[in-house]
Amino acid sequence: MRFYHLKIAILAILYSSCGYEITAQDKYPKIPEFSGFDKKLFVVDTLLRGIDKNMIFYDKDDGFIYCLNFAKGEYFLLDKSLKIKQRINAKGSFVGNKTFYKTGDDIFKPTVYKYVYPWNKGIKINKLDVLDYDFIVKNYKIPKDEKYGEYDIDAIRSIIKKDMDNRLGTLKETINLRDHIICIGTKGEFFMLEYVFKTYYEEKPQKKNFIQYLYKEQIEKNLYQFDEVVLGNHGGGNHFSGWTIPYGYQYYTFKIDKDSVQFKWNTKTNSTRRIIQMRDLWGDRVLIYKDGENGGELYSIRKK
C-alpha cells in the first residue's frame, strides 16, 4: 500500500510538471459552441480572411496600412476601413519607408531582393564579397611568421577590409535580416552574410520606424471570457520526455449595448486558436479576430 501511494504521488508530480490539469464537466451545457455571431441581433462585416493578427500594421512615416495574407504569403494595402485596397508586388520583410527585402533560400548562393514603392519589381542587391585568400597571398606582399612560416592574418584582414571599404564607402546604415545584413554606404548598397559582417564591421543603429500594430493589445470591451473548464488532456512525448496539453471550453459573452450572446470556445479543436477583440486605430468599431485553419478572419460587428 505504501508503494502504491508513492507511485500515485510520483505520477501526480510528473503530470503536474508536464501540463496535466484536473478535468471536470461542462459548466454551462445550455450555452452553444461558437458558430458565428447572431445575425438577428448584429450586422457582421467580414473585413479580411486568411490573415495573421500580428501582421496588420500602420507605418506613420508613409501613412500606409499593410497586411500579410499568411496563407498566400502576399502583402496588401488596406484603407482605413481595413478592407483591401490593392495587392502589393513585394515579398519578404517590411523594414519601413515603403520598403521590403526578400532573402533567398539557397545558403550556397545567397541572394537579396529589394522592393520599393510602387513595388513594380524586385531590385537585386549585390553581395559584398570578401577577397579570396589565395588571391591575396598571390598579389600582395604579406609578412610571414618567422617561426611557423604562416601569413600574418591581421594583415590579410586589413587588406580585405580596405577592399570592402573601397566598394561600400563609409558605412551609414544597416538593416538586419537575421542571416543577412543590408549595408548602406556612401558608395552604394550591398548585403553581407551576418558572420562576415561581424568579422569586419560594427552594426550601425537602424533608423527608428514608427510602425503601429493593430494587435498591439487585446481589449475586452465587447468580448470577454467569464469562465473556463478543462475537459481532458492531450498526451504526447518521445523517449526522453512526455507532456500533456489540457483542453476544454472557454466561456464568452459578446455584447453591444444591451444586446448580448454567450458561447463557448472549444479549445480541443482550436488548441492554438483564439477569438479576441482588437482595438480600432481609426474609429470606434467593434473588431473581432478569429483564428482559422488557413489564417484568421477579421470582423467588424455592429447592432442591427
> Residue 262 in contact with residue 38, Cβ under 8 Å?
no
- Mean pLDDT (the chain) is 86
DSSP annotation of 293 reads T
Q: What is the pLDDT of residue 17?
A: 46
Do 216 and 55 touch, CB atoms closer than 8 A? no
At 168-218, the pLDDT tens digits run 999 999 999 989 999 999 999 999 999 999 999 987 767 666 788 888 777
Strand partners of residue 51: 69, 296
Neighbours of 245 (CB within 10 A): 17
pLDDT tens column, 250-284:
999 999 999 999 999 998 876 677 899 998 888 88
Using a cut of 0.85, tell me whether the model's pTM lies above it: no
The domain ranges of the chain are 21-60+216-303, 98-206
Instruction: Please say if the pLDDT value at position 225 is more than 50.
Output: yes
Residue whose cell numbers read 500606409: 64
Q: Give me the mean pLDDT over the 3-30 stretch.
A: 65
* Residue 219 DSSP SS3: strand
CA 256 – CA 88 distance, rounded (Å): 35
* Per-residue model confidence as pLDDT tens digits over 52-73: 888 899 998 888 999 988 777 8
Residue-wise pLDDT for 119-143, tens only, equals 999 999 999 999 998 899 889 888 8
Confidence of residue 236 (pLDDT cuts 50, 70, 90): low
Confidence of residue 245 (pLDDT cuts 50, 70, 90): confident
pLDDT (tens digit per residue) in 21-42: 788 899 999 999 999 999 899 9
Give me the pLDDT at residue 239, please.
Answer: 54
Residue 303 confidence (pLDDT): 93
- Asked if residue 8 has pLDDT above 50, the reply is no
3-state SS assignment for residue 2? helix
Torsion of CA 292, 293, 295, 298, to 10 degrees: -20
CA dihedral 87, 93, 99, 105 (to 10 degrees): -90
pLDDT at position 113 is 97
